[in-house]
Amino acid sequence: MKRCRVFFALCALALSGCAGHDVYLVGRTTGLTAHNKFRILHPGGDVSFRIGDEIYTGHWVYMEGGGSVGLGTATTFSGSRSVTTTGMAVGLPTGGNGTFIGSSPSGATLRCSFDFSEWNLKGLGICRDSKGETYDLQID
């Protein structure tokens, strides 16, 4: 019974990113806010944000950071004998960055850039509209 609970808990954790992420925008000088819920991870897609009277619709993209590969060799000597071993390590990416570029029917534009951690499924970024307002972006 305990194994089943652990299995279901791990499945729920693995699928937690599938339901979507809450994305919040808050204007630094105006205090205007926007909220949407969508999946940050691949693939990218179309998204809309309503900020005041404007509805910005556009496309967002997320790119994982590169992983790493390490190679190592060790040799041990004992008298006239030696042993050599070689190993390899692969590091998976745990985060990356993304963008959102959108426009409203009035012709106003909104550009966002964010960093996202796949480890804790959270992110931070900044947006700027064509009117000069800057917004803080938070992903939960």
The Cα-based distances of 102 to 46, 56, 59, 64 in angstroms read 9, 5, 7, 21
Alpha-carbon gap, residue 24 to 19, rounded angstroms = 16
Residue 12 has pLDDT above 50, yes or no: no
In a domain, 38, yes or no: yes
In a domain, 98, yes or no: yes
pLDDT (0 to 100) of residue 7: 43
pLDDT (0 to 100) of residue 65: 84
Q: Are 32 and 108 in contact (CB under 8 A)?
A: no
Paired tokens of 95? 């985060």
- Please give the model's pTM, rounded to 2 decimal places: 0.71
In a domain, 53, yes or no: yes
Convert the pLDDT of each residue in 21-76 to its tens digit.
Answer: 999 999 999 999 999 998 887 677 899 999 999 999 999 998 888 877 888 888 99
In a domain, 9, yes or no: no
In a domain, 11, yes or no: no
Q: Which residue has 């279901």 as its token pair? A: 8
Whether cis (ω within 30° of 0) applies to the bond prior to 105 is: no
List CB contacts of 41: < 8 A, sequence separation 6 or more: 17, 62, 118
Output b/e per residue, 58-82; b: 16+ Cβ within 10 A.
bebebebeeeeeeeeeeeeeeeeee
Give the count of domains, the chain: 1
In a domain, 4, yes or no: no
In a domain, 126, yes or no: yes
Give backbone dihedrals phi and psi of 23, rounded to 5 degrees, phi first: -115, 125
In a domain, 3, yes or no: no
pLDDT (0 to 100) of residue 71: 84
Q: Which domain holds residue 46?
A: 20-139
- Mean pLDDT throughout 65-92? 86
